[in-house]
Structure 1
Amino acid sequence: MKFKMQDKQNQLIERITDKHLVIGVDIAQHFHVARAVNYRGIVVGEPITFENNEGGFSTLLNWIHEIKRIHRLEAATVGMEPTGHYWINLSKWLMKQDIEVVTVNPHLVKRNKENRDNTQSKSDRKDALVIADMVKNGYYAFVRNTSESFEQLRVLMSNRDVIVKRLVSSINQLNRWVDIVFPELRQVFKDITAKGAIATLRLFPLPMELRSMTPEQIVMGWRSVMKRQPGMKKAELLVHVARKSVVTRQALGAYRFHLEQLLEEYDLAVQQMDRVEQAVKEVLDSIPFARKLLMIKGISEISLAGILGEAGDLSGFSHGNSLLRHAGLHLVEASSGKWKGQTVISKRGRSRLRRFLYLATMSLVMNNPEFKAIHAHNVKVKKMKKMKSIMKLIGKLARIFVGIARKNEVYYAHKVQPIKDIAA
């Protein structure tokens, strides 16, 4: 496929010939519905409903072969919405049977519902027909085959997102507990998740307990659970603020029980985070060009894993702009006559990929000399808004990543931006 969109759309339409059977599948949890049309959009065959299991998939395959035989067609293309995770097994099973599988944008399916009957009606059969029409008209995208390593990264990073949410939730609840039971603890430890603060919450969380203790006893307690512990000054301050604490004395047993459970949740999330990040590092070591990408100052293993997990093998992209389109970071404009609308990013792509590209670029702007210089030049000399400069740098990062992956070369700082351009 050529990169230019005007050429790409024509090529997608031209691929559907008069020898093609186009099938649209409406995806659901238990039962899918399929409809078929020819290259002109004429409905062929009867609708079929089949189960989301191997028996149902075989029924669909036999139905496809029968329609191809009756209408003397040679090829079949199956289109479907990437709805949740219910479409994955069907798509992989069909590809193993040498059936071409493509996806359509759910947003466009909703917009094209009235093309057939000029009504707002909705049903599974109609949705399947709308999908078939969209594929026939070239509004589809190919399913990118990912190798084992990239599939592992996608699953691991998705799992990491879940763990991050749980970890943030447990930290928020710990902060709430401290605000209610021992708010003066923040005078000693600004960060409640610091090792000293967590050790204090484990050993003597209630101010009433600390009032009767000496600083030496507190330091001994810290030494029992920490290799490097806060000093005597911290212990003295802790005793001082505990004696002045004005918190409630009611339900202290329940509060202690609640804290124990919160610390268990926090410990579990931290352990799981360490395990998943270690697994991510091991997978990255198996990807040949990953080490070259990590040589770029400012690129972390987690941000790279997020990008590769969502985008797959970057060497499969023809250009960095293809990666931007995959992420929904390509520019769109709305204009009519003399009126010209604002140019914005489309956001029609993988939201998680957009997030990791943005975070990686922000890290480069803060830590990478080349990107920092370009950003400063954009803002101070070209008078760009900071966010516009960041968006341009995301495009540059995408082109660098795809170029390194395709050519298998290392990162050269002098190629990022000519020195004369920065100094201009």
Structure 2
Amino acid sequence: MPMRVDHGDVLLMSCAGLQSQDIEEDVMPHGSGLSRGDKRRNGRLARLRALVPPQNAILGIDLADEKQALVVTDHDSRVLARKRVRAKAWRLDSALEWARNVARRHGFADVTVGCEPTGHRWRVLDQLAAGLGMPLVCVQPLLVGRARESEDYTRDKTDDKDAVLIARLVGDLRCYVLERAEETWARLRHLGARREGLVAEATANVQQLRDLLECAWPAVLGCAAKPFESNSWCAALTVVLDRCHGRPERLARMGLARFLQAVNREVARWGGRQVWRLTDQAGVTAQRTGALERASFVLADWHATKRRLSEVEARMVEVLDHLELTDLVTSIPGLSTVGAAAILAETGDLARFDSPRAVVKHAGLCPRENSSGTKEGRARIARRGRPGLRLAAWRAVWGAQANNPVLTARFHHLTAREENPLTTGQAHAALAAALLRWLHVIITQRVPWNEQIASGRTDLSAAA
């Protein structure tokens, strides 16, 4: 749309050798002049301003274990009062009352509490503030660190200074609204954290066991195409390591029949049905006794970890059943219930996100633009937000891609197109972002996955 100019503007343009038709302004669609990002940012600022109103003073708290630094400021970060409290976070109710009294003495209606999300203490403070009717917001520690350097161009750090910086950032609305999870969603978050730890532990056990066997008994790894996925292989190895005491040649005394009987008894513990045989004993002789003895310990740890992992995953599925989400998430071909539960354990209730893109941004999978003027730099994913969510979506995509026609076609298109083809890793990141968008739609709108809509052949509003 051409920009309107008056006679003075025409005179100035004539002096500059320009014509009015040479000047145009970019106006966003729908006539509002605001982009979708502008509207969402304005909405977020409005929600924050409701929590940090001008009539409230600001209480900045630098939380620690037993020593808390508190400062009450106005919106220009002028300090109204300071206080140090030697108490646990659970004992800060009297300190919050003190801050309220200070604020009212200076003509404010109440206080807004601001803190860093350090450990579990911010949750404790949130519950105390909610009980007293005080709004609470959090400030990212990264912003506090950068504000500390911009304060006087040094890295001087004290708890009292950090409390002032927290209050200043809250006054500038450089804060965010807390996620207050309902009890069921909070349980899923804790189960997901437990599962993540067990997955890492099981992976470490497999890597350590592989290293020990490659050194002391390499032939044992060649007895199955995927030995650590074979229940009979694991059962037979357990029998060998438990009875040989680091010397596999001792098993010859058992005889084949007794050995197979022992393996058959053990294979049930691993969930297998078939037996497995081994005769080769090549390896580093000097390392064999100690390495195989240690491998037996690692194998037992791995088996116990797998058992605990199965129990946690079963409980996560129970939570999805309780939330009535199992049928919805499993409507996506290739996505397992456990994979969906791991993602939702990181996101929490998806209804708190106003759009699918917000979920992708929360995972750090959104593209990070790199352009200035006419220069177009290389775009990469942001890698901000929750790394655990990014990892859970990445793992889910690896399992879903082969069984989901839309993901398969999308991966082929992204990696085989003639213009700007993506690498395998970049394509998997794009698929992970697509999976998060699907989950947001089907859970918030309570509709099953639709291949036509997911592939873009049918519009969601038209389908509804």
Task: Indicate whether the TM-score tops 0.5.
Answer: yes
Aligned equivalents of 2:208, 2:343: Cα separation in 1: 31
| Structure 2 gap segments, 5+ residues each | 1-35, 242-246, 460-464
**Which one-letter code corresponds to 2:450 in the other structure?**
Y
Q: Secondary structure at the match of 1:102?
A: strand
CA-to-partner distance for each residue in 1:89-117, whole Å, 9 max, x for gaps? Answer: 22233223322121122211111114444
**Which one-letter code corresponds to 1:248 in the other structure?**
T
**Which one-letter code corresponds to 1:405 in the other structure?**
I
Q: Secondary structure at the match of 1:24?
A: strand
CA-to-partner distance for each residue in 1:138-161, whole Å, 9 max, x for gaps? Answer: 111100111112111111111112
Please state if 1:287 is matched with 2:323: yes
Q: Is the 8 A contact 1:13 1:138 kept in 2?
A: yes
TM-score, structure 2 length as denominator?
Answer: 0.79
Bigger relative contact order, structure 1 or 2, given CA contacts below 8 A and separation 6+?
A: 1
**Residue of 253, 262, 278 corresponding to 1:221:** 262
Aligned equivalents of 2:141, 2:298: Cα separation in 1: 40
Query: In the superposition, relative to structure 1, how do residues 102 and 420 fare at CA in structure 2: closer, same or farther (>3 Å)?
Result: closer
Q: Is the 8 A contact 1:9 1:138 kept in 2?
A: no
Q: Is the 8 A contact 1:52 1:90 kept in 2?
A: no
Q: Is the 8 A contact 2:185 2:345 kept in 1?
A: yes
Q: Is the 8 A contact 1:20 1:74 kept in 2?
A: yes
Aligned equivalents of 2:375, 2:215: Cα separation in 1: 57
Q: Is the 8 A contact 1:292 1:404 kept in 2?
A: yes
Q: Is the 8 A contact 1:280 1:302 kept in 2?
A: yes
**Which one-letter code corresponds to 2:436 in the other structure?**
A
Q: Is the 8 A contact 1:189 1:196 kept in 2?
A: no
- The aligned residue for residue 405 of structure 1 is 443
Query: In the superposition, relative to structure 1, how do residues 17 and 118 fare at CA in structure 2: closer, same or farther (>3 Å)?
Result: farther
Alignment map for 1:205-284 (pairs within 5 Å):
205=241, 206-212=247-253, 214-226=255-267, 230=274, 235=277, 238-239=278-279, 241-242=280-281, 245=282, 247-248=284-285, 252=289, 257-284=293-320
Alignment map for 1:20-169 (pairs within 5 Å):
20-55=56-91, 57-169=92-204
Aligned equivalents of 1:114, 1:188: Cα separation in 2: 59
Q: Secondary structure at the match of 1:161?
A: helix
Greater shift, 280-289 or 177-186, is seen at 177-186
**Which one-letter code corresponds to 2:54 in the other structure?**
D
| Structure 1 gap segments, 5+ residues each | none
Bigger-Rg structure (1/2):
2
Q: Secondary structure at the match of 1:204?
A: helix
Query: In the superposition, relative to structure 1, how do residues 166 and 220 fare at CA in structure 2: closer, same or farther (>3 Å)?
Result: same
- The aligned residue for residue 325 of structure 1 is 361
Q: Secondary structure at the match of 1:67?
A: helix
Aligned equivalents of 2:80, 2:175: Cα separation in 1: 20
Return structure 1 stretches of 4+ with deviation > 6 angstroms.
none
1:60 shift after superposition: 2.0
**Which one-letter code corresponds to 2:113 in the other structure?**
V
**Which one-letter code corresponds to 1:216 in the other structure?**
A
Aligned equivalents of 2:283, 2:381: Cα separation in 1: 53
- The aligned residue for residue 305 of structure 1 is 341
Query: In the superposition, relative to structure 1, how do residues 419 and 26 fare at CA in structure 2: closer, same or farther (>3 Å)?
Result: same
Aligned equivalents of 1:186, 1:199: Cα separation in 2: 14
Please state if 1:183 is matched with 2:218: yes
**Which one-letter code corresponds to 1:42 in the other structure?**
R
**Which one-letter code corresponds to 2:135 in the other structure?**
E
Q: Secondary structure at the match of 2:160?
A: helix
1:126 shift after superposition: 0.9
Aligned equivalents of 2:123, 2:84: Cα separation in 1: 19
Query: In the superposition, relative to structure 1, how do residues 199 and 132 fare at CA in structure 2: closer, same or farther (>3 Å)?
Result: same
Greater shift, 86-95 or 307-316, is seen at 86-95
Q: Is the 8 A contact 1:25 1:32 kept in 2?
A: yes
Aligned equivalents of 1:420, 1:68: Cα separation in 2: 56
TM-score, structure 1 length as denominator?
Answer: 0.86
Greater shift, 70-79 or 189-198, is seen at 189-198
Q: Give aligned-pair identity as a percent.
A: 24
